[in-house]
Structure 1
Amino acid sequence: MVSIVIASHGKFADGIKQSGSMIFGEQEDVQSVTLMPDMGPDDLKKKLQDAIASFSDQDQVLFLVDLWGGTPFNQVNGLFEEHKDKWAIVAGLNLPMLIEAYASRLSMDSAQEIAAHIIETAKDGVKVRPEELQPKEEKAAAAPAAAPKTPAGGHPGSLQYVLARIDSRLLHGQVATGWTRSTNPTRIIVVSDAVAKDDLRKQLIQQAAPAGVHAHVVPIKKMIELAQDDKHFGGERALLLFESPEDALQAIKGGVPIKTLNVGSMAHSEGKVQPNKVLAFSQEDIDTFNKLKDMGIDFDVRKVPADGEGNMQSILDKAQAELNKQK
């Protein structure tokens, strides 16, 4: 796997590395290197060399730096000269660039191939509101591409369900990047009676959709109707988002053909217990998951695609034990 060095003035590299991990999961063979006010160029060079030495693969190294021509770039460039046939440098670091680099190294084995690939994503990550302020030549490029009508494995008139996820945060960075990249949907559908009534939340969700993917918010009853008569979707790929297990149960009982639920995030609130960092349960939640299990639904407990799969039964048992203690 291609190794990555993130280099910057100050602690920017440390911070963006942490942000990337929150969205895409912890990454192997990634090091952040920072130039601090009390350091000289030679100090930074030594830190860069130590970072490279820590990698399991030092043959393919991608450097993501904050500023072309700055000290981090200049020191990286000095090391690059002896490896220019395989290493690569990209300046102008932003979070979309970093996430795209993480995603790309799952399928690309060359640092230079990844470097060429991530530039457009980095540029596309720079947007402005109100939209009238965006340069005219950029507006067309930023518009979502038309969804393909018959993706691989599909057939006209059939809606494919590539992921059904329970996430109290609904459409956020981990979904818009990690899960969208791993499942390749053409539509993201938030299934929620509450959100469907909230115009502001609907607008924010639609704006958060990644380029090329259409985002919709529908009440549960409407999703059931769509599942029963999906001929208008022409083989498109749907990623469903539920705010709670109760919403998912209602949809599945109504006929939405879900076999597996990805359980990603359930926010803590009064009366709930939290058996791990990202999942909190009330008694109703536990009872709902047990009903889903009795219906033959499988559970994929992962915050991001790179995470190992958690044991749902073990998590439920722990939550139930903690609730019992409160009684």
Structure 2
Amino acid sequence: MPLLTAATPSVRRREVAAPADDLGQAALVGRRRPLQWVVAIAGVVVLAMLVNTLLTNPRFEWQVVGDYLFSNAILRGLVLTLWLTAAVMVSGYLLGIAVAALRLSDNAVLRSVSFGFVWFVRSVPPLVQLLFWFELASLYPRLSLGIPFGPEFVSVQTAHLLSAVAAAYVALTIDVAAFASEIIRGGILSVDRGQTEAADSLGLSRARTFRRVVLPQAMPAIIPASGNLLIGMLKATSLVSVIAVQDLLGATELIYNDNFKVIPLLIVATLWYLLLTSLLSVLQFGLERRFSRGTRRADRPSLPAVWRSNLPVFPHRRPRAGR
């Protein structure tokens, strides 16, 4: 026993000293992440269960989904959804630019009015705004233009002034304008003030400075939020079905109220929304890459590289930098 005790330290010293001489030849071993693989396997299992239920549950009635996916009523509703989304976004952003300009004005009254507009519209749910404009005739049976407490010059009956589509357009445009104004204002404020001062020193006009200096640098901050707002508005147009506008969801409801195929018709609407939002996401990604070319990190790994680096289950040997 004493011999073992005396010999043990020397043996251990040799075991530790031997690898120290070959540290330059030691291979790098990747860090083990067992929890990530547990989560990944669980995700694959859940995905497999989802695919299984989609393919084996007869209540989805995929045959009915295929019959109505390209029906005339659904396509007409789809066209109305696209038109309403495009019209609301264009009008809302034009109004939002004006509101953002007022928020950035040196006039305290204009700043207060624009702030009140943004505060009020963002505080009221879009559905409430939609119902308010649809029921405008109940509050104001007649609208007139004239001198307060004096004669009226023009008056109009509001009973047939706003149709359901017009009410949806007005309500959603005002809602988009409030959010768009904050997106634009935030993008402009993200540009360093020294850029504007440098442009002024070169003798550029304010319009040219904004167009050539401020706006290109503000776009990387404006585009992601604007893309999210566009996708959100595309989905928010489904609210107009509440006031009997036959958009994509409204046409779907009209059909399943007649044939009672609720789930298949909702799947039809879901598939179209998935397709449209996916296309808008690709467009947003392309615009973000275009306007952030000078700010992207060159060393950021691509998605395939990240996937390849995390693919092996067992730790892999990485080549040394000197080789």
Q: Which band: TM-score by shorter chain? A: under 0.3
More strand by share: 1
Larger Rg: 2
More helix by share: 2
Give the TM-score, by structure 1 length.
Answer: 0.20
Using CA pairs under 8 Å that are at least 6 residues apart, name the structure with larger relative contact order, 1 or 2.
Answer: 2
Give the TM-score, by structure 2 length.
Answer: 0.20
